[in-house]
Amino acid sequence: MVRKLKYHEQKLLKKVDFLSWKTDNTLREVKVMRRYHVQKREDYHKYNKLCGLVKSLTAKLKSLGPRDAFRIENTQDLLEKLYSIGVIPSRKNLSLCEKVSVSAFCRRRLSVIMVKLRMSQTVKDAVKFIEQGHVRVGPEVITDPAFLVTRNMEDFITWTNASKIRRHVMEYNEERDDYDLMC
C-alpha cells in the first residue's frame, strides 16, 4: 500500500500524469531500424525528412493545373529522379510519389541490396561484411552500410579482389585458378 501524498507533493505532481504520459511514437521508427539494421537514428530521420519533402513537393505539383507546362516538366523530373534512385517502381504516375516511405529508402541501402542479390543471408551479416571492407561498388571499396545504391549501380556490387569471401565463392564454384592462389 502506498502512502497518501502530502499537499506539497500533490502540488508538484499535479501536472504530471504517470498513467498517460506523452509518447514520442518511436514504435515505427524502431521497427524500421531493426528490420533494415539502420545503426544511426540520424539516417532514419534523414530518410523521413526526404519523404516529407517529396510528399510536400508532390502536393504542390498537384495543386497546379494538369496542363501547366511547369507541372509537366517538374513531374517528369521528379518521377525520373525517384525511379533512378529506386524508390518508386515505375515512372507512370505522380501518385506513386505520395506513397514514398522511409522503408523505400532503407531498401536501397547497400546492405539490403546485398541480401537481395544473395551475397549475404541476413542484413546484419551484410553490414558486417561492408564494415570489414569486403564489398565494392564499381572500383571503390565501400565501408558505409548506409550507402544508397541506385538502379544503375546495382549491377556493379562485387566482392573486393583481396576478400577471403570472394576466394571461398570462387573455390566453391570451381572458378579459382593458379593466378588467384598467388594473391
Q: Which residue has the higher pLDDT, 162 or 179?
A: 162
pLDDT digits (tens, 9 = 90+) for 98-144: 999 999 999 999 999 999 999 999 999 999 999 999 999 999 999 99
Contact between residue 88 and residue 81 where contact means Cβ atoms under 8 Å apart: no
pLDDT computed for residue 177 by the predictor = 73
pLDDT-above-70 percentage for the chain: 91
> Which residues are CB-contacts of 87 (< 8 A; sequence separation ≥ 6)?
100, 104, 105, 108
Contact between residue 109 and residue 36 where contact means Cβ atoms under 8 Å apart: yes
The domain limits of the chain are 28-105, 109-182
Contact between residue 167 and residue 180 where contact means Cβ atoms under 8 Å apart: yes
pLDDT digits (tens, 9 = 90+) for 5-25: 888 888 887 777 666 555 566
pLDDT computed for residue 34 by the predictor = 93
pLDDT computed for residue 168 by the predictor = 84
User: Is pLDDT at 69 greater than 60 in this prediction?
Assistant: yes
Give the number of other Cβ atoms within 10 Å of residue 91's Cβ.
Answer: 15
User: Is pLDDT at 174 greater than 90 in this prediction?
Assistant: no
C-alpha cell, 85: 534512385
pLDDT computed for residue 18 by the predictor = 63
